[in-house]
Structure 1
Amino acid sequence: MNRDLPIIRTTPWSLGLILLVILAALQASALPQRLDYWLYDTAITSHPAPTSANVVVVAIDDRSLGQLGRWPWPRSRHAALIRKLEAAGARTIVFDVLFPEPSADDSDLARAMTAHGNVVLPVYLSPPTSQYLLNEQLPAPVLAAAAYNLGHAHVELDSDGVARGLYLYNGLERTLWPSLSLAATGAEPMRQSDIDVPSFVNVRNEYRAVPMTGGAGTLPTYSYAQVLQQPPSSEIFRNKVVFVGATAAGFGDVLPTPFSGLSRPMSGVEFHANAYSAQSQGLLIRKAPEWMEYALCLLTLAMLCVLLPRMRPTRTLFACLATMLGLGLIFLAALFGARVWIPVANALLIPLFAFPASSGLRLAMTNRFLNRQLDDLARSPQVSLPEPGRRHPAQLLDQLKALLQPEGWLLTTGKDILSCKGLGTGDIPERLTPGKWTHLDGRSWICLQRGPQSYILGLTLPNDLGREVIQRYLQRLDLDAEAPSRHYHPSRENISARIERLRSATERLERMQQFIRRSFERMPDGVIVTDELGVIRFANGHIEEWFREPMPSLNGLPLANLLEGHDPRETPPWHETVSDTLTLQQSRTVDLRIHNKDFLIHFAPFALPEVEQNGIIANISDISELREQQRQHREAIDFISHDVRSPLVSQLALIEQLKRDPAHIEPSQLEQLGKLARRSYHLAEEFVQLARAEQLTETRFYECEFLAIVENARDSVSEQASEKGIRLQLQGTEDLWLKGNAELLERAVINLLTNAVQYSPEASTVIIQVFQAGHLACLTITDEGSGIDPHELPSLFDRYRRQKRSELSGVHGTGLGLSFVKTVVEKHRGEITVTSTAGEGTSFTMKLPIANPLT
């Protein structure tokens, strides 16, 4: 993909140009005009015009033709109709019947017309024959002279063949005849002296759309024959304008209207009657000038081109719908309020196409942006590691040898041995499941398939406690999962492939974020990230645990306030350290103490790439154990300088004394020298045992029986107990299996028994109880000694701590025995407790988890 290509952006000019091209293309079609007609028809038919109370139609219908004979009728019959209507009180009679040729009955019709005084006759513009030019077809001269007024009978058909209106004036040359409906009101022909046109050119003026009252037959209509044969009905025709014309099928003009279409067309006389009804009520509709249509169209175009590029995609749709609704309201308000028909189709088509055009431009920009971002993501580092299942078996063997240090191995393909040590083809099990490890007699086997080749890999694992753990680890390895490679062809990708790439990239980012988040959480140190004002924006779980602050309260808290609240200090104050890190962009390392624990906090400034933002990453390390080790180191030095050095100095002094007088060596001197040597040895042994206990790990654990350990410890101190007449009473017969180090456990029990014997009076009893409590193996040692002072119990297991009462009574110790016991118990994930009553005795209880609590 060419990254240098410009991104297509949605701007007023780009959107406007596209809409103008679309609008220009639509003008070549009939769509805008058809849409205008549909809008007008829908509005008119939804709200029909009210019917005028002074309009009546007398129809020359099929019934009249059947009763009065075939057409044409003698004009004396029309004269009789005029007299009937005159007698009924009709105000105006409008004939939509042509009388162009003279007839013998013209004088009778003329007399009737003259007697009534308000009879309107039609004028029709048409050539006499197809070989003649357009001409005016006027009534016979005698009838024209007798008529009250003349009006043209033409109705305008729109381009879709539907009659929606007429021209109020129509004619040839300079005389324009009013329409029949307008002539009924007494309007005179229009004389035009300012135009010069040929005599055969039809001139029309003042188009009006007619809002009809409904379809054919909506107006009050009476049959010609019925009116002629019955007495005059004054209640029907008095002060009415009566339109007379043909409605019979196949006779007269038929006009499709918005109400009927071609299914039930309307006769010309009904159309003219509707025109008069609307005209008398001031409901005729004028067409708006063309400039108004263009102005509305350009205004809509400009408004959408300015607004849409600035809106969100969801609001774009609502803006286009609102624009269309507004144009519809303008159309209806002008149509029914101002009686003006404004063509809004072009303006309506603009928002209709503006939404997809704007969305298309945004999609094009989004598509290009996504392609660029996806390409960048594809080149970005991934968290996923190379899959072991894709590696060659020889490479796998080398890596497993480096990791596990097996005692032997074998790699074969077919009958060929690729690598071996201590294993042969005869050791391979008969049935191996491809991709699954099989463990037999301390050996682990797997069959690997790489293409057409089949490989067998075998390992001889060390015979120690870690073999079972290694075997479980091997089972988790997926060594036979070859994933198909994915190829990306940017020139052929479709939207589905693009979505799939985006989904994969999103998943990769989520994995990266989870990896970073979990990495922060699993770090041994606490991590705090602040913004450029030193406000905490991220903290891992250690911070919540160490400071004992809930995570929601940490987010948004200034770092200086957090530190000042838990470890207030004056020199230097925390706010100064934080501000110096931000302003000077220099790292700082400061001691911190929280809830009696020691920490080291390192402040490091950082800056986000490509943005002008910085902050602090504070790394907090728990150094309580280190400080405790330093304290123990100092105590050990003090102990060595005093307790270890004192017997050695005494030994040296005694030896010097013996050297000065070797002939007089007394047994007491040798006994004293031996006692001092034994004390030095005992101190060294206590140090060695404590060091072994501190270095104990689960790799040195094995299954051992707890009762046997206690029995061996009892036997070890039995001689010491018998010297004081102390009876060691063991209670317990149940075998309790532990996973641990029997040697160190036995030494811990010996220490407890030695203390019990040492601090018990002569001829007393030390009770040793071994029992199971739930999933724990328990040991309780109870003596009948003087007990331990309550204030000494909390520090009883601390190093180099000796009971004051014991020291005063002459029982000297190193202060390491109980510390050794506690260390051994804790290494075995157990616990030890002590209860003591002054003058009654002391009980130590050791609790250790058993090996298989469910068996």
Structure 2
Amino acid sequence: MNRDWLPIKTTPWTLALILLVSAVLLQLTSLPKHLDYWLYDRTITTFPSKPADDVAIVAIDEQSLDRLGRWPWPRDTHAELIRKLKEAGAKTIVFDILFSEPSPHDTALANAMSDHGDVVLPVYLAPSATNQLLNEQLPVTRLMKNASDLGHAHVELDSDGVARGLYLYNGLGRQLWPSLSLAPLAEAASRPDHSQTPAYINIRDEFRAVPLAGGAGTIPTYSYDHVLRQSTPEGAFRDKTVFIGATAAGFGDILPTPFSGLSHPMPGVEFHANTFSALIQDQLIEPAPQWASTTITLLMVACLALSLPRMRPSHTLFTCLLSTASLLLVFVTALIVFRIWIPVIDAALLALLALPISSGLRLSQTNRFLNRQLDHLAQNPYVTVPSHGSRHPRLLLEHVRELFEPEGWILCDGPYCLSSRFLSPQDVPSDLKPGQWDHRLNDSWLKLQRGEHAFVLGFQLPNDLHGQAIQHYLNRLRLDNPDSFLHSRSPKENVSARIQRLRTATERLSQMQQFIRRSFEHMPDGIIVTDELGVIRFANQHIEQWFGEPMPSLNGLPLSRLLEGHDPREAPRWSEIISETLTLQQSRTTDLQIRGKDFLIHIAPFSLPGGEQYGIIANISDISELREQQRQHREAVDFISHDVRSPLVSQLALIEQLKRDPANISSGQLDQLGRLARRSYNLAEEFVQLARAEQLTETRFYECELLAIAENARDSVSEQAIEKGIDLQLQGTEDLWLKGNPELLERAVINLLTNAVQYSPVGSVVDIQVYQAGHQAILAVSDEGSGIDPEELPHLFDRYRRQRRTEMAGVRGTGLGLSFVQTVVDKHRGHISVASTPHQGSTFTLKLPILDPLP
């Protein structure tokens, strides 16, 4: 059933609709409002405002109540306080004390207010009695006439019961009173116009949030009693606005604030003092209009709906968190810098909700796609290697017999023998464990449980190393009982079933890829597969190693460019060969040279899946060793046909001459015959020694001492040196132990000394030095001979190579001696070098790793 028409997709319209619905649902709860208050409180308490210097509080505290008596105090006491504050230089006095009832001492208080000239009294809006309308609680007439202004004492509590701000203006109908904190300022005169409003309606205008300077006690506070007794610091009230109010517990109004909550509330008079401090510093915070929050929310919905569906899933989380952080940064910046309270919680919550919503839409869409793909994969064939445990014992017996060719075997099903050779049921051990091989000498036994049948499989293997290797291989075969997989319960949950289907399909694809890749990777030849344009899409490790190209650069590289870069040719060019293979669909085989090595490349077209196009599969074989063997074979044939035949022909000719005249045989003829025989012997001996050196392996290495090898070689050549009057001088006293073959090493040194004696003049010196340099043992042979021409040095160690000067001088050689030395040194993981100056001499230096380089 095709479900592509379903609207549950990660599209901008779908995501925008869900986010808008989520925004509406959030507005039906109190969560955004509480989070907005919490964010405001955390910001205000983290970045508190600095209190103004020209504001102070006179507190009616517990100490003042103890000394001055019960409340209410006589109003002449307040008059005395005003006179004390005037003497102290107070600029403005603001009472947060209601004087709504007449008192005998009103005249004294009124005179003191008039004498000071700038005293503000509070107005309180409240019903005069229960079930009555709201009215204004004004000071008595005499006091009101002498007050410089009146201000309302109301502080606004938010829905969570915390005081965060107040209305600058409050009143009934046409008469609006400024707040106590605004009344002392000149701007109190510019009040909003509500002249058309009925007189019984409570009007509140221009709400402002107050950035408090801190908790209770932040504003400088002085006891009422101390001020009356003039025990306050000098200059404490000079040119300041002084707020007078109750701070005693249970007496004055207390307000929970962002700094305290209900644990340590703030007196109302201190809240008004904080408001006045913020006013004169222009720090009051104005709430943004409701349309600003709505606009931000809609913009956030639009941005998320347009961006998230086009993003990768890994970027969605980062985008949502970045959006939330940006909104919080806007909130803090607007609050602290511009003094505007912008509610961004709605948009921030939507940014956080967009992550699970977008992920859910992606998962829903992905789930439907995966279901379709899983159904498609389940219908396709797949390549895998079946488990050995799933094979029937008869088939297992047949495969093992074809592979290892055992000398005998037996297969039993319980008491019945199904097949046997050289083994009988009486030979079957009785203590076999199911699924485990049991090897007893050269017999190997296995018990297999297949349902209710217990099969026993036995093999009789060769009693040698090959048989032991077969037994070791059989131990690695996994022969688990397949019944354990058949009884596994399939998951019943919908999600679990889909995960299981996905796991099965993934395992099939992984097995197919591993089977193909490992098959290509472990082939002895290099494999390259291209697409229909001859661009490389796969290459195994041999290609990377031979061409020296890293695997990432091979993928996407045209095959013709790869081949042309390592083996350029004029006709036919590689691009022509590749194009003809694709267009004519014909296989081609040609030689290839890579870094001096010989290869054979076979290029064949193959049909690509899903169309009528053809790609190329190239098989590259390393034939360098074969070509080297062919070259050596040709050189050996040429050498034998010339150098070996020449002394033999001379010997046969001399023998025929002696046979014709046996009576006149001279000693010179016999010496000549001996020289020819020795030359033939030396040729054969050098062939044998070179063959031994080429077949040398580390299994024939053991500890040996280089100085002793040099001494033995010197003694072997000493007779030849004495005949020419050449002095062999050996320099070296330190024992240098090696891991090698001393016989072949000695023969190599003998070859060097023989050459040195042969090419040195009579009466000269051949110097042999043995010493240690770092982690290497050094043997150097120096002569005073004719030297080696510079053009001959690069080919000095080639087989059958002889110097032209020595051949012209009559010094005959085979050209195998130095090749033998090179082979021996290479087998010992050493290095040989030569330094020579014509007509002055040559120095051959052998460098071999010592046995233990550590001191």
Q: Deviations over 1:427-462 (max 9, x none)?
A: 434544444455679765433222343233345679
What is aligned with 1:283? 283
Q: How many residues align?
A: 654
- The structure with the largest alpha-carbon Rg is 1
Structure 2 length-normalised TM: 0.66
CA distance in 2: counterparts of 1:40 and 1:422, whole angstroms: 94
Match of 2:547 among 521, 546, 549: 549
SS of residue matched to 1:579: helix
Contact 1:585 1:605 in 2 (8 A): no
CA 562–136 in structure 1, closer or farther in 2 if over 3 Å, else same: closer
Greater shift, 85-94 or 516-525, is seen at 516-525
SS of residue matched to 2:485: coil
Paired letter, 2:46: S
What is aligned with 2:749? none
CA distance in 1: counterparts of 2:441 and 2:236, whole angstroms: 121
SS of residue matched to 1:426: helix
Alignment of 1:489-528 (within 5 A): 489=490, 492=493, 494=495, 508-523=508-523, 526-528=526-528
Alignment of 1:524-603 (within 5 A): 526-540=526-540, 549-552=547-550, 555=554, 558-560=558-560, 572-582=572-582, 584=583, 586-592=585-591, 599=600, 601-603=602-604
Q: Deviations over 1:43-70 (max 9, x none)?
A: 2222222222322222111111111111
CA displacement at 1:324 relative to structure 2: 2.5
What is aligned with 1:228? 228
Q: Deviations over 1:577-629 (max 9, x none)?
A: 322334x362343444658979573331543548x98642234578999999x
CA distance in 2: counterparts of 1:154 and 1:316, whole angstroms: 48
Paired letter, 2:603: H
- Coordinate RMSD, CA, aligned: 4.7
Q: Deviations over 1:334-353 (max 9, x none)?
A: 22332221112112222222
CA distance in 1: counterparts of 2:627 and 2:109, whole angstroms: 134
What is aligned with 1:119? 119
CA distance in 2: counterparts of 1:500 and 1:396, whole angstroms: 31
CA distance in 2: counterparts of 1:52 and 1:596, whole angstroms: 90
What is aligned with 1:344? 344
What is aligned with 1:31? 31
SS of residue matched to 2:71: coil
CA distance in 2: counterparts of 1:231 and 1:475, whole angstroms: 102
What is aligned with 1:109? 109
SS of residue matched to 2:616: strand
Contact 1:377 1:505 in 2 (8 A): yes
What is aligned with 1:390? 390
Contact 1:170 1:179 in 2 (8 A): yes
CA displacement at 1:573 relative to structure 2: 4.2
What is aligned with 1:708? none
Paired letter, 1:587: Q
Paired letter, 2:224: Y
CA displacement at 1:221 relative to structure 2: 1.9
What is aligned with 2:412? 412
What is aligned with 1:804? none
SS of residue matched to 1:126: strand
Contact 1:600 1:623 in 2 (8 A): no
Contact 1:7 1:365 in 2 (8 A): no
CA distance in 1: counterparts of 2:521 and 2:273, whole angstroms: 89
CA 491–13 in structure 1, closer or farther in 2 if over 3 Å, else same: farther
What is aligned with 2:17? 17
What is aligned with 1:154? 154
Contact 2:605 2:616 in 1 (8 A): yes
Contact 2:15 2:305 in 1 (8 A): yes
CA displacement at 1:307 relative to structure 2: 2.0
CA displacement at 1:102 relative to structure 2: 1.8
Paired letter, 1:603: A
Contact 1:87 1:232 in 2 (8 A): no
CA distance in 2: counterparts of 1:322 and 1:627, whole angstroms: 67
CA distance in 2: counterparts of 1:73 and 1:109, whole angstroms: 12
CA 481–124 in structure 1, closer or farther in 2 if over 3 Å, else same: same
Q: Deviations over 1:320-365 (max 9, x none)?
A: 3332232223223322332221112112222222233333333444
CA 80–531 in structure 1, closer or farther in 2 if over 3 Å, else same: same
CA displacement at 1:395 relative to structure 2: 4.8
The answer to whether the aligner puts 1:604 opposite 2:605 as a matched pair is yes
CA distance in 2: counterparts of 1:409 and 1:274, whole angstroms: 103
CA distance in 1: counterparts of 2:203 and 2:267, whole angstroms: 24
What is aligned with 2:293? 293
What is aligned with 1:44? 44
CA distance in 1: counterparts of 2:537 and 2:142, whole angstroms: 105
CA displacement at 1:371 relative to structure 2: 5.1
Structure 1 length-normalised TM: 0.66
CA distance in 1: counterparts of 2:498 and 2:477, whole angstroms: 33
What is aligned with 1:254? 254
Q: Deviations over 1:689-709 (max 9, x none)?
A: xxxxxxxxxxxxxxxxxxxxx
Alignment of 1:657-696 (within 5 A): none
Paired letter, 2:78: H
CA 412–59 in structure 1, closer or farther in 2 if over 3 Å, else same: same
Q: Deviations over 1:513-536 (max 9, x none)?
A: 343233224546553323454344
Q: Deviations over 1:370-391 (max 9, x none)?
A: 5555555555544433323233
Contact 1:155 1:165 in 2 (8 A): yes
CA displacement at 1:422 relative to structure 2: 6.7
CA 287–613 in structure 1, closer or farther in 2 if over 3 Å, else same: farther
CA 194–615 in structure 1, closer or farther in 2 if over 3 Å, else same: farther
CA distance in 1: counterparts of 2:696 and 2:597, whole angstroms: 34
Q: Deviations over 1:112-160 (max 9, x none)?
A: 2223222221111111221222111111222222322221111111111
SS of residue matched to 1:235: coil
Contact 2:226 2:232 in 1 (8 A): no
Contact 2:317 2:355 in 1 (8 A): yes
What is aligned with 2:78? 78
What is aligned with 1:457? 457
Paired letter, 2:135: N
Q: Deviations over 1:624-655 (max 9, x none)?
A: 99999xxxxxxxxxxxxxxxxxxxxxxxxxxx
SS of residue matched to 2:547: coil
Paired letter, 2:250: G
Contact 1:378 1:505 in 2 (8 A): yes
Contact 1:590 1:600 in 2 (8 A): yes
Greater shift, 498-507 or 208-217, is seen at 498-507
CA 138–412 in structure 1, closer or farther in 2 if over 3 Å, else same: same
What is aligned with 1:208? 208
Unaligned runs of 5+ in 2: 629-658, 660-675, 701-798, 803-810, 821-855
SS of residue matched to 2:585: coil
CA 92–463 in structure 1, closer or farther in 2 if over 3 Å, else same: closer
CA distance in 1: counterparts of 2:494 and 2:293, whole angstroms: 45
Paired letter, 2:93: I
